[in-house]
Chain A
Amino acid sequence: MDFRRIEIIFLIVFVSLDVFLLLSFRNSQQIVTSSSTNTSTVSEMRKRDISFGKLDTKSGSAYYLGSKPNDALVNNVGKLRDQEFQYDESSHKLTSSLNTPITVTKDNRVKKINEFIKKESNVLFGTQYKYSPQQSTSSQIVFSQTDKDLGEVYDKTAQLTFTVNDDKVTGYTQTYIHDLMILHEKEATKSEKDIIINLYANSEISNNSKITYANLAYAKLLEAKGSTIYIPVWFVTIQNRDSKVNSLKKVNAFTGNVIKSSTTGEDYSE
C-alpha cells in the first residue's frame, strides 16, 4: 500500500517536472527568435510623430567612381544657339544667358525645362540630365547628370541649374563629367531602412517631422591626384511639419555614417 502511494507521489512529481521542462524548453526557443531591434526603433519613431512611407530593407550595391576634369563643354559650345555664354576654365563651368527667356509657371516649369534641354542647340548633353527635386528651390531648378548604368550624380561637378526670376527662366549654369571610371569592384550599400534608423539614432530626425524623399546618388567624397572621387550617398529630405522647413541629410551609403556638411565643407545642394 505504501509503495503504491510512493508511486503516485513520484508520478505527480515527474509530471510537474515534465511541465516545467517543457515550459523552459519553449521559453529558450522563443528568446532565440525574438531579437529584432530594428522594428522597435521604427515603432518608436512612429510614436514620436515621425512619419514616413514603407521603408525599403533591400540593400543594393555601388562603386567607387572617379572622374578627371574635362573640357567637353567648351569644345562643343559651337553647337549652342540663341544664348550668350561664358566658360570658367578652372571650375570647368559653363554659364549661359538665354536671348529669349522661357516663361514658366510653378506647375509647368519642370515639364517645360525638360523639353528645352532635350535639344542639343539649347543645352549640351542635355539628355544626360535628370530633374532633381531634392536639390531644387523656388528660384532654382536643378538637374543632375545621370549615367544610364550607374545612376545619378549629385554634385557641383555634374549639375545643370536653371535660374527662375519672376516666372521667367533667364539662363543656366552647367558642369559635366565626361568619363566616369569604376575604381573598385562593387560593394554592398546600406538599405533605406538602415540609414533612416542611423539618422534617427544620431538625433538627425526631430519629432513631429516627415521624411518626404530618400534617394541614393553618387556624391563627391574627395579630390586626389587631380581626380574627383564619388561614393554613393543617401540624400534624405526631412520636413518639419510645423514650420514646413525642409532639411537635406546625407548618409554615406557604404558605411552608414551621417555626413555632416560642416565637417566636409561640401554643400551638395549648392
Chain B
Amino acid sequence: MKFSRLIVQILLVFAVITSVVLSYFIWTNTARYQRGRNVDVTTTESDKNKIPINQVISPTQVIWHDGTDQRLIYNNEENISFSVQNVMNDWKFDRVTRVFKKDGAKYQKTIQKHNAIQLVYPTAITVRTLGYLLNSSTLKHSTDYSFNRIIINLNDKTDKNIYLANDSNYAVYKVSVRDAAAEPILKLAKKANIDLKVRLNLMKHGVFTFYTEPIKMRTYSYVIDEKQDREYTTALFDSNSDDLVTSQDGDVYTYNYSETKRLISDHDKGELTFYDYTDTSVPKNRLAFYQRGYNKAVNLQSSVSNLRLYDADWNDKDLVFREYVEGFPIFKKSQFGSIKISFSRNGTTEHFLNKVLEVPVPSSNSETTLKSTTSILKGLDKAGYSVNDIQDIQAGYQWESESENQNVVDLTPTYYIKIDNHWRPYQDWTNESAEEG
C-alpha cells in the first residue's frame, strides 16, 4: 500500500518538474521562434531584389600588411570585403574577451600588425550585429562591444584568434575561431588589382588612413535615376494619393497624409524629408537600430548595390548611409550623405536625395592622380587649418552632373575633409587642386 503511494508521489513530482521544464522551453522557444519569424517576414517583404543587409552593413576598406608594407587593396571585378565575409560565414566563433582598452601605443601596434588583413567599417558596429550578419549564435549572445576593425591574422598556425578593434576608445577584443583558415583570404587579397600604400596614424580625432604616396584613382560615370515625388509618396504613405494634402511654397512641395505622415520635397536642391509621426518607438538595442535603419534605407533606394552604412550615432539615434564606388565614398552636395535616418519618441525622420546611381557607364577620363595625404595636410595647414582641426580626411568621389547630359553623372576622385562638422572637398578649403602635378 505504502509503496504504491510512494510511486504515485514520485510520479507526481516528476510530472510537475516535466511540466515546468516544458513550459520553460516553450516560453523561451516561442520567443525565439517569433523573433525568428519576424526577421523572416521583414526580409521576404522587402523582396528579394533589395540589397542584402550584409552588403549595406559591410566593411568598405581592406588593408593588407604583407610583412613589408601596409596597403589598401581593392579588386574592381570582385568585392574583396564581401568575399572575405563569405569565407568567415563558415567559421566557428567563441566568446569575445577584451585584450586591452585606452592604450594608444598598443593600439597602434595592433592595427599595424604584420601579416594581417583588416576589414575596416566606416563606422563602429557591435559584436552582436556581427553575430547576426555572420549567423554566429555565440557572437549573437556575447557582450555587445563596439568595434570598427576586424583584424585577421594570416599566420594562423601561431595565433588562432581574430581581433576586433575600436578606434574611438583604443580597445581591442579577441575572438578565438575554429574551422578557419587564412589561405582563402590570402588568395582573395592576391587577386587585388588596385593597391595603394597606406599608413594608419592615430590623430586627435581618430585613426586616419594616410596615403603615403600620390594615389591613382579611376574616374567613373553613372546613369542616374531621378525619382519623382509621386514615386516616394506611394512607397512611403501606403495609400492612394487621394488623401494627400499638397501645398507649395516656391520650389518646396509638401505632402501630408492625415496628419501622421509628411513628405517635404525641395525641387531646387533635390532633397526630400519624410516624417512619420506614427513610428514613435526607439530601437532598444544596437542590432535593432541597424536593422530598422537598413529596412528604411533600402525602402528608399534599391538600385545598384553601392549603398553602405556610413555613420551610426547611437546616442542621437541617427544613421547615415552613403553610396560607395570601389571602396571610396561618394560625396554629394548634401551634408547628410545619401540617406539619413533619425529615430525619436516623436517619430522618425528620413532625409534623402532624389537622384541615385543606376547603371555604370564607361567614363571618358581614365585616371586621376591625387596628392599624398601628407601634402594635403600641408596644404590645409598653409590655408590656416591645423592638423588638430581636422575631424576626418578621406579620399572619395565628387558627384558632378554633366552639363550636356543631365542623365549622366561623373564621379571624380578628390580628398574630402571634415572640419567643424562639415565635409568639403580639398579645393573648397584651400582653393588648390588635390590633383598631383
Contact = CB atoms under 8 A, between A and B. Distances in A.
Interface of A: 4, 7-8, 10-11, 14-15, 17-18, 21-22, 24-25, 28-29, 31-32, 35, 63-64, 66, 68, 181-187, 190, 194, 221-222, 224-225, 227, 229, 255-257
Contacts of B36: 32
B221 A225 contact: yes
A14 B75 contact: no
A63 B22 contact: no
Interface in B47-87: 48-49, 75-79
Contacts of A18: 15, 18-19, 22
Contacts of B49: 255-257
Contacts of A194: 48
A15 B19 CA distance: 8
A224 B359 contact: yes
B303 to A, nearest CB: 9
Contacts of B305: 187
Contact of B12 (A10, A29, A184, A221): A10
A15 B361 contact: no
Contacts, number: 97
Contacts of A15: 15
B22 A66 contact: no
B29 interface: yes
A53 to B, nearest CB: 23
Given A11-B11, A63-B77, A184 B360 contact: yes
A15 B22 CA distance: 12
B362 A225 contact: yes
Contact of B8 (A7, A224, A257): A7
A32 B39 CA distance: 12
Interface residues of B, number: 39
Contacts of A29: 29, 33
Given A18-B18, A183-B361, A225-B364, A32 B33 contact: yes
Nearest to B30: A28
Which 10 A/B pairs are nearest by Cβ-Cβ distance? Answer: A14-B15, A183-B360, A21-B22, A66-B362, A184-B360, A224-B361, A227-B362, A11-B12, A185-B79, A18-B18
A83 B51 CA distance: 52
Contacts of B38: none
B139 interface: no
A257 B22 CA distance: 47
B76 A182 contact: yes
A19 to B, nearest CB: 10
B77 A185 contact: yes
A11 B19 CA distance: 11
Contacts of A68: 362
Contacts of B5: 4, 7
B95 interface: no
A7 B9 contact: yes
22 contacts: A11-B8, A11-B12, A14-B12, A15-B15, A17-B15, A21-B23, A21-B26, A22-B22, A24-B26, A28-B33, A66-B360, A66-B362, A181-B362, A182-B77, A183-B360, A184-B360, A185-B78, A185-B79, A186-B78, A186-B79, A224-B407, A229-B361
A21 B77 contact: no
Given A18-B19, A224-B407, 10 more contacts: A18-B18, A28-B30, A31-B33, A63-B77, A182-B76, A184-B360, A185-B75, A185-B78, A186-B78, A222-B359
A193 to B, nearest CB: 12
B37 interface: yes
B40 interface: yes
B48 A256 contact: yes
B43 to A, nearest CB: 12
B42 to A, nearest CB: 14
Contacts of B12: 7, 10-11, 14
